[in-house]
Chain A
Amino acid sequence: MSSSAAWTIAGVRNALETKQISARELTDEFYGRIDKRNGELNAFLTLSPRRAYAQADRVDRALAAGHDLPPLAGVPVAVKDVISTQGIRTTCGSKILENYVPPYDATAVERLENAGAVILGKTNCDEFAMGSSNENSAYGPVRNPVALDRVPGGSSGGSAAAVAAGLAVAALGTDTGGSIRQPGACCGIPALMPTYGRVSRYGLIAFASSLDRIGPFATTTSDIARVMSIIAGGDENDSTCAALPVADYGAEIAAPLAGVRIGVPEDYFGEGLDSEVLGKVQAGIALLERLGCRRVPLEMPHTDFAIATYYIIATAEASSNLARYDGVRYGLRVPGTTLIEMYRRTRQAGFGAEVKRRIMLGTYALSAGYYEAYYLRAQKVRSLVARDFADAFGKVDAIITPTMPTPAFRLGEKTSDPLQMYLADIYTVTGSLAGVPGISVPCGKTSAGLPVGMQIFGRHFEEGRVLQLAHAFENGGGFSM
């Protein structure tokens, strides 16, 4: 295998089984790549070579002993730095957790490792996953490997950039309002937000608990399916995770597309949508029709209210979740003469500007006199957005939209205007509010060479359907249209 080769999970397995490479050599290969590119990309914040090589050696020993290999044996993966890893620093992209070392693994991490995956390290992200460009990280922005003057999207920008640049075969990200799908679109790789409750969040450091989800990045839909088969499923340590059986995603993605009904809501194709993105997504929908899908026009009339709803609910939950960072039990402490003074100084020094902005917005929305006008009203509108999806899924099997209104923007382009940054999530927050699964798949590039993402939403717990459409689209040449 040449050093620039694009690895897939199946490719790793084949190379290990045919003794073309050992798991240790493959781990070396990926650390070599990271060594070359990470200075420029800033995708990884912390590397975990000790743990990675110990795991690689376990795989090599199993191979030498002639044992059957687990499904992800030797596969180099990266993990977003909001997901806990025992003994590996986990910062959430924040100064307040700069030296925090979790005493336990997140369930998703444990399942990946039990399946043989090699965890290379932790990836950069917007602080506490709050952002759409990765520019809110306390450890500097990530650069988009496709165009270095552009953002990789956010908040899981490091995970997306690592996979797109070939520094990991797959990665875990988290999605609260678009933070998996949007960086997937910016970096030109498939990226799945599973159904709310499909993947355990035990060990995920919370941002907005009614929205947060863990999901995978990879370079092919087959690999997304393989990772999902490992991380999905009930967990007795997470009462918000459904105990439903996990589908065989690998089999479901291969089902024929004939007769699948796809809905195209006109509400996602209006003002603010870049004309080149529009053209590519329209061509993508036409390809799905040629592949056997039946196109159905849809109306989702509350789409336009989703951003406002999302930024009230998400910030309200964040203001509550982030109250735990007070300098008492973990993370940064800035001393004060009284307990309250210590809290205030610690939080003032430890949190970045966007996190403070969101804590304040959420605190305001929950405060006496404003609760009904903002938070309660937003929860009611959330019901209307969810009803749009329920109505649509009475008529169609999947919904197709652009992932983002524009291609990846330039570093610094939107940092001075928080509201403009929020509007980058306009097509992704809807599915976040409704709890449904959604994938972003690459859908060609603009004339300037920037990736375009097409989003596919499915019914609750129908990741298999979403992946089936994505897989057919990939095989039909849709990724490189």
Chain B
Amino acid sequence: MKISREEVLRVADLAHLELSPEEAETYRSQLDEILSYVGKLEELDVSRVEPMTQVLVNPPGDRHPELRDDRPRPCHVAPEVLGQAPEAKKPFFRVPKVIER
């Protein structure tokens, strides 16, 4: 078994997901099957392989052609952004109390 019920619940907690007992078991068996399949990556010797951390291929000699000049630009989107919020009180998003005292 690749993953236990306790680990599933720990992962759900990390991801801020609230699972029902039935969901926890379904995900445990499905993740177990997927992780067993993924185990095939252990067949490869990767001790001398660098991880691929960049996908964008740049033309030779031009290392960061897509970075723009760092200049401030006007940005007046607060009303539109707050307008999408489930609960807002200008200029804030409202949430349940975070700090107890």
| B95 and A328 contacting across the interface, CB-CB below 8 Å | yes
- CB contact between B66 and one of A239, A356, A418 (< 8 Å): that residue: A239
A64 interface contact, C-beta 8 A:
no
**Contact (A234, B66) CB under 8 Å given A101-B84, A382-B51:** yes
Residue of B nearest to A241 (CB): B66
| B85 and A330 contacting across the interface, CB-CB below 8 Å | yes
- CB contact between A329 and one of B40, B55, B93 (< 8 Å): that residue: B93
- CB contact between B40 and one of A308, A356, A379 (< 8 Å): that residue: A308
B46 interface contact, C-beta 8 A:
yes
A419 interface contact, C-beta 8 A:
yes
Task: Tally B residues with Cβ within 8 Å of A.
Answer: 54
A319 interface contact, C-beta 8 A:
yes
A273 interface contact, C-beta 8 A:
no
Residues of B within 8 A of A229 (CB): none
> Chain B 5-44, CB within 8 Å of chain A: the 1/0 string?
0011001101111110001000100110111011111111
| A329 and B81 contacting across the interface, CB-CB below 8 Å | yes
> Chain B 52-76, CB within 8 Å of chain A: the 1/0 string?
1101111100000111100000000
CA distance A419 to B2 in the complex (A): 15
CA distance A332 to B51 in the complex (A): 37
Residues of B within 8 A of A382 (CB): 51-52
- CB contact between B65 and one of A238, A244, A323, A328 (< 8 Å): that residue: A244
> Chain A 189-209, CB within 8 Å of chain B: the 1/0 string?
000000111000000000000
| B11 and A367 contacting across the interface, CB-CB below 8 Å | yes
**Contact (A380, B49) CB under 8 Å given A239-B67, A311-B34:** yes
| A197 and B17 contacting across the interface, CB-CB below 8 Å | no
| A377 and B46 contacting across the interface, CB-CB below 8 Å | yes
CA distance A342 to B81 in the complex (A): 20
| B46 and A380 contacting across the interface, CB-CB below 8 Å | yes
B98 interface contact, C-beta 8 A:
yes
Stretch of A47-55, A128-136, A333-341, A439-447 at the chain-chain interface: A333-341
Residues of A within 8 A of B86 (CB): 327-328, 330-333
**Contact (A244, B59) CB under 8 Å given A356-B17, A383-B49:** yes
Chain B min CB distance to A455 (Å):
19
Residues of A within 8 A of B55 (CB): 196-197, 210-211, 435
Chain B min CB distance to A281 (Å):
25
Residues of A within 8 A of B50 (CB): 380, 383
| B56 and A308 contacting across the interface, CB-CB below 8 Å | no
Chain B min CB distance to A425 (Å):
13
**Contact (A338, B96) CB under 8 Å given A241-B66, A343-B16, A361-B34:** yes
- CB contact between B84 and one of A100, A210, A343 (< 8 Å): that residue: A100
> Chain A 224-246, CB within 8 Å of chain B: the 1/0 string?
00000000001010111111100
| A312 and B38 contacting across the interface, CB-CB below 8 Å | yes
CA distance A386 to B80 in the complex (A): 42
| B66 and A242 contacting across the interface, CB-CB below 8 Å | yes
A21 interface contact, C-beta 8 A:
no
| A357 and B31 contacting across the interface, CB-CB below 8 Å | yes
CA distance A150 to B90 in the complex (A): 49
| A319 and B41 contacting across the interface, CB-CB below 8 Å | no
Stretch of A32-40, A75-83, A161-169, A344-352 at the chain-chain interface: A344-352
Residues of B within 8 A of A386 (CB): 52
| A242 and B58 contacting across the interface, CB-CB below 8 Å | yes
| B41 and A309 contacting across the interface, CB-CB below 8 Å | yes
| B17 and A360 contacting across the interface, CB-CB below 8 Å | yes
CA distance A437 to B13 in the complex (A): 38
Residues of B within 8 A of A340 (CB): 16
Chain A min CB distance to B27 (Å):
6
CA distance A344 to B17 in the complex (A): 5
**Contact (A329, B85) CB under 8 Å given A383-B49, A419-B33:** yes
Residues of B within 8 A of A339 (CB): 95-98
Chain A min CB distance to B45 (Å):
10
> Chain A 417-436, CB within 8 Å of chain B: the 1/0 string?
01100100000000001010
| B38 and A356 contacting across the interface, CB-CB below 8 Å | no
A139 interface contact, C-beta 8 A:
no
| A103 and B81 contacting across the interface, CB-CB below 8 Å | yes
CA distance A230 to B52 in the complex (A): 30
Besides A377-B46, A435-B55, 4 new A-B residue pairs in contact (Cβ under 8 A), listed by A number: A304-B40, A344-B17, A360-B27, A422-B34
- B interface with A by C-beta (< 8 Å): 3, 7-8, 11-12, 14-19, 23, 27, 30-31, 33-35, 37-44, 46, 49-53, 55-59, 65-68, 77, 80-81, 83-87, 93, 95-98
Sorted nearest first, the 4 A-B pairs with minimum C-beta distance are A379-B51, A333-B86, A103-B80, A380-B46
The contact sample of 9 A-B pairs, CB cut-off 8 A, is: A196-B56, A305-B41, A332-B86, A341-B96, A356-B27, A363-B11, A363-B14, A380-B52, A419-B34
